[in-house]
Amino acid sequence: MKDSIVLRKIDIAKARDVSFVKNATRLLQALVSNGAAIGWVDPPSTEEVTDLLQELANASKNNNAYLIAIWVDHYLAGVGYWRRYSRPTHYPHADIEKIAISSQYQGHGLGRKLMNKLISAANNAGIEVLTLDFRGDNERAAELYKSLGFMEYGRLPRFVAVGTDRYDTRFYALDLRNPDTGAFRE
């Protein structure tokens, strides 16, 4: 891919930008409409996306979250974020709750770029362990996460319900306290 690729942390001003919210909503709605397993069964409303973006941008001011977007030639191609666990015993850890790449840009390394930036930001914020979970049939995601040093630590069989279909939920973790995890591979 020879296009111009820009990664940018989303601050509160950008999270309130009407154009950005509109494009993020359109991206997430299109992915969910096409069956992407990114946390919604039905496409999210503009209000849901607006609230989520503003909540994450506010939390990022205190290193409790990190929201990032990736553009290809001025086109919003993806978003991702992690959020710190709020319970005191889990506070040193964060969960990557969403990685969403436009279907037209999947397979071009943008997910890896987003993940590397999320991992780096978590490391810089003092996060000790990053966790994530995903639908068990998403083998491309599993391969990406493994290549970045994530290890599977659990599975809930047939936990995700999409209509009458059932899928496992897979749980992965990356220990940032261990320099030999293999994180940040390009």
Identify whether 186 is part of a domain: no
Phi first, then psi: what are they for 87, rounded to 5°? -70, 135
Dist. CA 178–CA 90, nearest whole Å: 18
Identify whether 184 is part of a domain: no
Identify whether 79 is part of a domain: yes
Distant-in-sequence, close-in-space partners of 63: CB < 8 Å, separation ≥ 6: 84, 125, 126
The answer to whether 78 touches 99, Cβ cutoff 8 Å, is: yes
Residue corresponding to tokens 């891919």: 1
pLDDT tens-digit series, residues 49-105: 999 999 999 999 999 999 999 999 999 999 999 999 988 888 899 999 999 999 999
Structural domain of residue 133, as residue ranges? 5-175
pLDDT classification of 41: cutoffs 50, 70, 90: confident
pLDDT tens-digit series, residues 121-179: 999 999 999 999 999 999 999 999 999 999 999 999 999 988 899 999 999 999 999 76
Amino acid symbol at 158: R
pLDDT classification of 185: cutoffs 50, 70, 90: very low
CATH for 46: 3.40.630.30
The SS3 assignment for 46 reads: helix
Identify whether 126 is part of a domain: yes
Identify whether 19 is part of a domain: yes
Amino acid symbol at 184: F
How many other C-beta atoms lie within 10 A of the C-beta of residue 162? 11
181 to each of 41, 93, 114, 174, 184, how far by Cα in Å? Answer: 33, 16, 18, 7, 9
Q: In the chain, how many domains are there?
A: 1
In this structure, the strands spanning 165-175 and 93-101 are: unpaired
Whether the model clears a pTM of 0.85, i.e. scores above it, the answer is yes
